A and B are shown apart, each in its own frame.
Chain A
Amino acid sequence: MRQFFILLRKELRSFFLSPLAYVIIALFTFLNGWLFSSIVTAMRMKVNQHSLVYNLFDSGWFWMGYFFLFPLLTMRLFAEEKKLGTLETLLTAPVRTAQVVLAKFVATTILYIVIMLPIFAFFFLFEDITGESAAFQKGAFYGAAAILLLVGIFNIAIGCFASSLTSNQLIAAMITFVVVVLHYFLGFIHYFGAKLPAELLAKVTYFSTVEHRHLFTEGLIDSRPVIYYLSSAVVMLFLTHHVLERRRWQS
């Protein structure tokens, strides 16, 4: 456990002492702020039955940013260590591979949370300034926070896995990008003219983030998506661990 915290501290340090983290935080705060103000403007123009929280997270533009965020956050995790050769010094020190994987995963999740925090600050600012409520129930905030965290954990785990597969950061980023995009568009599969039997279509869309975010941003925290995202993340981290351990497998 001690080793885990030492590694976590090192990872966080290398995130927050590099310009990349600040560039990403600034960029996403700006883009989300812009989107936030556009949605407030749109809601003033036209009567809308949903809350501000629901409308913001229902916007395709918000999730568009996600396609780029996760490749950026995760591409260097293992690919850079492989390229520099530092993975060798790291894994010949008395640490377990699982500790290394978890430390990198948790550090990236913390950075992700820091990137997402300003959005919630926008809602509180909005409520403070206008006196209107941004959500119909308090639960919508918790639901929104939960779905953002769950989707984040899931996508970061995918990024970890992609980064462990290669020593080329660009390839790692591309793999993460493709998987994140495909997973997102599962929810829109019927728009693309996919002629799937209704039963299968329902099953496919059930795995999509689009479905889950509607429930969560209305304040309904459903345990099924929670289990789905968490267990998928565990599987991805398990695979990452195995990719890194592969060199030690005895034939």
Chain B
Amino acid sequence: MISVRNLTKRYAGHTAVDDISFEVDRGEIVGFLGPNGAGKSTTMRILTCYLSATQGAASVGGFDTFKDSIEVRKRIGYMPENVPLYDDMRVKEYLHFRAQLKGLRGRSARRAAGEAMDTCSLQDVRRKMIGTLSKGYRQRVGLADALVNKPELLILDEPTNGLDPNQIRQVRELIKHLGERHTILISTHILSEVEMTATRVIIIDKGRIKASDTPQNLIRRLHSSGTVHMEVKAKPKQVIEKIETLSDIKNAIHIGTSQGWSTIDVHAFSNVDIREQLSSLAQEQNWPLRELYRDTASLEDAFVDITRS
């Protein structure tokens, strides 16, 4: 659906996107992650034909974003960052206008606007002026605009930016639902969101692609997941000595003691799960054990690890 080859975008004295290449297949939900200023929005703007590339090429559905920009624009629904909207229009009127602009006529434009309002739960505010809407509703109007002509590809730039947790959850559900019918490229800071919705994640930093994989695989790459926390009622020094005699253990660190319970972090080599060994040890030594859990790395850890290196 999307094909980006050696794309570079330079502004005076600064390279926003530096020779990136990636593909997005039909039906994928791809999360586009990166710190602020990494080049996500610039890439999205090139894909939506708003900007041109300095070098390289991008195509959507087989059409070049520079040479066949109208054909590309017919196939995408784009929601820019900060959701720019006409404040002096009513929701229904705006969506009808946008549906017409995207090539739908008469009754079908009206029907499309109605369906987009249903999908984004906007029926309650359809007669309201956009300028009077709350941030959450504005975001949904932007989303409804992006999908009003049922485009093959949705490009959403920070769709949950500035929303409260309830609204984020609603938008996330909506994106999941939309993913059944559309290919989606979504950029966001909220990593848990991508972890739950995206089938693949592309991490971009300083204009370059640092990683492209499924969220699960990215997390698996992290070594920190070998850490196990345990709380036992025993002398910490004795516990550490015993633990370090086990195989696969890198080291054990005493974190603190409270009312006789010692908290210890045990680091294993690579991704070995050492919980079984530790519980057997506690049983052997007759240490009362009240907590034993393995650190699970999140996409956030993967993101920090990848963008820092």
Decide if A3 touches B101 in the complex (CB within 8 Å).
yes
In the complex, what distance in Å separates the CA atom of A10 from the CA atom of B84? 16
Chain A to chain B contacts (Cβ below 8 Å), 22 pairs: A7-B101, A10-B97, A14-B86, A14-B89, A84-B84, A84-B86, A84-B87, A85-B80, A85-B82, A86-B84, A88-B50, A88-B80, A92-B48, A94-B74, A94-B101, A94-B103, A247-B50, A247-B51, A248-B51, A250-B54, A250-B66, A251-B10
State in angstroms the CA–CA spacing of A91 and B78 once bound together: 11
Which residues of B have CB within 8 Å of A17? Answer: 88
Contact A89 B100 (CB under 8 A): no
Name the A residues within 8 Å of B98 (CB-CB): 89, 93
Size category of the A interface is 20 to 34
Chain B neighbourhood of A7, CB < 8 A? 101
For A91, the closest partner residue in chain B by CB is B50
Chain B residues whose C-beta falls within 8 Å of the C-beta of A95 in the assembled complex:
101
**What residues of A have a CB within 8 angstroms of the CB of B182 in the complex?**
none
B70 touches A96 (CB 8 A): yes
Task: Choose among B10, B74, B100 the residue that contacts A6 (Cβ–Cβ < 8 A).
Answer: B100
Render A70-93 as a binary contact track against B, CB cut-off 8 A, 1 for contact: 000000000000001110110111
Q: Which of B49, B52, B76 contacts A249 (CB 8 A)?
A: B52
For the complex, is A41 an interface residue (Cβ under 8 Å from B)? no
CA–CA, A18 and B80, complex, Å: 26
Q: Contacts of A2 on B, CB cut-off 8 Å?
A: 105
In this assembly, does B232 line the interface, its C-beta being within 8 Å of a C-beta of chain A? no
- Sample of 19 further A-B pairs with CB below 8 A, known A84-B87, A85-B80, A89-B98: A6-B97, A6-B100, A6-B101, A10-B97, A18-B88, A84-B86, A85-B82, A88-B50, A88-B84, A92-B48, A92-B49, A92-B76, A94-B73, A94-B103, A96-B70, A248-B49, A248-B66, A250-B52, A251-B10
* Contact status B80-A89, CB under 8 Å: yes
B53, CB-defined interface residue at 8 Å = yes
* CB closest residue in chain A, given B105: A2
A132 to B101, CA, bound (A): 51
Contact partners of B74 in chain A: CB under 8 A: 94
Secondary structure of the A side of the interface?
A: helix
Q: How far is the CA of A89 from the CA of B148 in the complex (A)?
A: 13
Interchain residue pairs A-B with the least CB separation, the first 7: A85-B84, A94-B73, A92-B48, A86-B84, A248-B52, A94-B74, A93-B101
Q: Which residues of B contact A84 (CB under 8 A)?
A: 84-87
Contact string against A for B residues 47-67, beta-carbon threshold 8 Å, 1 for contact and 0 otherwise: 011111110000000000010
| 1/0 contact string of A208-236 vs chain B (CB within 8 Å) | 00000000000000000000000000000
A88 to chain B, nearest CB (A): 5
Q: Report if A86-B85 is in contact (Cβ < 8 Å); known contacts: A92-B78, A96-B70, A250-B66.
A: yes
Q: Which residues of A contact B145 (CB under 8 A)?
A: 89
Which residues A1-24 have CB closer than 8 A to chain B? 2-3, 6-7, 10, 14, 17-18
Q: Closest residue to A93 on the B side, CB-wise?
A: B101
In the assembled complex, the CB of B83 is this many whole angstroms from the nearest CB of chain A, namely: 8
- 8 Å CB contact of B53 from A6, A96, A250: A250
Residue in B45, B76, B86, B98 with the greatest tally of chain A CB atoms within 10 Å? B86
Quick one: which of B45, B52, B82 has the most chain A CB within 10 A?
A: B52
**Of the residues B73, B82, B86, B87, contact of A93 by C-beta under 8 Å:** B73
Question: In the bound complex, how far is the Cα of B91 from the Cα of A96, in angstroms?
Answer: 24
B102 at the interface (CB under 8 A from A): yes
- How close is B135's CB to chain A, nearest CB, in angstroms? 15
Question: Given the complex, which residues of A lie within 8 Å of B85, measured CB to CB?
Answer: 84, 86, 89
Give Cα A92–Cα B97 distance, bound, in whole angstroms.
14
Nearest CB of chain A from residue B127's CB, rounded to whole Å: 14
Distance A203 CA – B84 CA, assembled complex (angstroms): 48
Q: Report A193 CB to chain B, min CB distance, Å.
A: 44
A94 touches B88 (CB 8 A): no
Q: With A247-B50, A247-B52 as known contacts, state yes or no: A14 contacts B84, CB within 8 Å.
A: no
- Distance of A37 from chain B, by nearest CB (Å): 36
Given contacts A17-B88, A86-B86, contact A92 B100 (CB under 8 A): no
Residues in B whose Cβ lies below 8 Å from that of A248:
49-52, 66, 69
Complex: chain A residue closest to B81, CB-CB = A85
On whether the beta carbons of A14 and B88 are closer than 8 Å, the reply is: yes
Taking CB atoms, residues of chain B closer than 8 Å to A10 are 97
Of all chain A residues, which has the CB nearest B75?
A: A94
Question: What residues on A are CB-neighbors of B45 within 8 Å?
Answer: 88
| A-contacting residues, B67-123, CB 8 Å | 69-70, 73-74, 76, 78, 80, 82, 84-89, 97-98, 100-103, 105
